[in-house]
Structure 1
Amino acid sequence: MRITVFGATGGIGRVVVQQLLGDGHEVTALVRSPAKLAFTHHQLTSFTGQLSDRDAVEQVVTGADAVISALGPSLKRSATGTPVTDGTRIIVQAMETQKVARFIGLATPSLADPRDTPHWKHRALPVMAALMFPNALAELKGMTEAVTSSGLDYTIARITNPTDKPATGRIRSGFLGHAQVGSAMSRADIAAFLVSQLTDPRYRRAMPAISN
């Protein structure tokens, strides 16, 4: 498959790209600094550009079978503005224009899925996030709304505490109040879940929470 990856130079994004290439997919990435990918591959094409560049975004989306977004907001308390929300809107618009339907991305359990039932995370996490990372929470809400309000065939994985521990291969997924989903999860296992959603139909137009 031909997969476009956004956020390819981040901690999760780099592993997503590596796993896609290992599975034999063709990968296209839009990055601000190609050197940050730290590797090359004959199946990997990188373009230099910004999320705010509509032409660049449409260029990398054109011809793709799916888009995987490992984008996330800055957790700096000094961060302002909504660059990732705005960029996600541009990605969605480019996908709709180019008739690329499948979107796989990330969010947080601070945001609910309609299939959730009442859970402590619905109460505690939004309060904690609003106090500690108010701009990041606003960005995550905006990013998610841009995707879920569209006609895209999306899966948005909600993560709480990504770690740099080795992959375990043990992935829990489901909806809060139903599945026994924890909080911590290695970035390698998060990436594996995102890649698996290219062929797994269970969470189409859904936002499962995932953990180790």
Structure 2
Amino acid sequence: MRVTVFGGTGAIGRLVVQRLLDDGYQVTALVRTPAKLALTHPRLTVITGQLSDAAAVGEAVAGADAVISALGPSLKRSATGTPLTEGTRIVVEAMEARKVTRFVGLATPSLADPRDKPHWKHRVLPVMAGLLFPNALADLKGMTRAVTDSGLDYTLARITNPTNRPAAGRVRAGFLGHDRVGSAMSRADIAAFLVSQLTDTRYRRAMPAISN
């Protein structure tokens, strides 16, 4: 299977790329700065380009069987604009034009899935994020909507508190108010979950919350 990765130089993205290669996938990564990926492999193709460059995004998506996005917004309070929203729209358009349907990415419990029941995270997290990181929340909302409003076969994993702890090898996944899902999760386990969704059909067109 050929998988295209966006956000491959981030803390989770690098782990996603490595996990894919370890599992035998053919990987294409679109990155702005290849040196940040710090990885070479016979099954890894690195394309240098911006997420805003439709031609580069199209080149990265061409021939893929699936896309994994490890993109996340800037948490700097000085950040402005919604680059991830615009970039994700470009990715979605490129996928639809090339008939690539499977999209796996990240989201936040600040946004509800229709399968959720009322939960404290629905009340608390949007308020906290709106106060501390209003621009990041707006970009996350737009990025998520670009995917969920499309016809793509998506899974968006909602994460709350990613950590740098070693992989625990166990995952809780489900819907708020239904399933026992916590908040903290190692980035290594997040990456493993994203890769697992390439072949797992339980959360198609859904946004499961995940934790350790």
CA distance in 1, matches of 2:83, 2:126: 21
Aligned to 1:5: 5
**1:149 paired to 2:149:** yes
**1:47 paired to 2:55:** no
CA distance in 2, matches of 1:120, 1:90: 34
Letter in 2 for 1:169: G
1:142-189 deviations in whole A, cap 9, x for unaligned? 000000000000000000000000000010000000110000000000
Q: Shift of the alpha carbon at 1:39? A: 1.4
CA distance in 1, matches of 2:40, 2:139: 31
Give the gaps of 5 or more residues in structure 2: none
CA distance in 1, matches of 2:32, 2:51: 9
Letter in 1 for 2:104: I
SS in 2 for 1:103: strand
Alignment: residue pair count: 212
CA distance in 1, matches of 2:175, 2:54: 34
Aligned to 2:201: 201
Q: Shift of the alpha carbon at 1:38? A: 1.0
Q: Shift of the alpha carbon at 1:140? A: 0.4
Letter in 1 for 2:198: L
CA distance in 2, matches of 1:39, 1:119: 41
Letter in 1 for 2:21: L
CA distance in 2, matches of 1:57, 1:76: 25
Give the gaps of 5 or more residues in structure 1: none
- Within 5 Å, give how 1:47-126 maps onto structure 2: 47-126=47-126
SS in 2 for 1:14: helix
Aligned to 2:139: 139
SS in 1 for 2:77: coil
Letter in 2 for 1:32: R
Identity of aligned residues (%): 79
Letter in 2 for 1:69: S
SS in 2 for 1:52: coil
TM-score normalized with structure 2 length: 1.00
CA distance in 1, matches of 2:96, 2:59: 13
TM-score normalized with structure 1 length: 1.00
CA distance in 1, matches of 2:77, 2:161: 18
SS in 2 for 1:72: coil
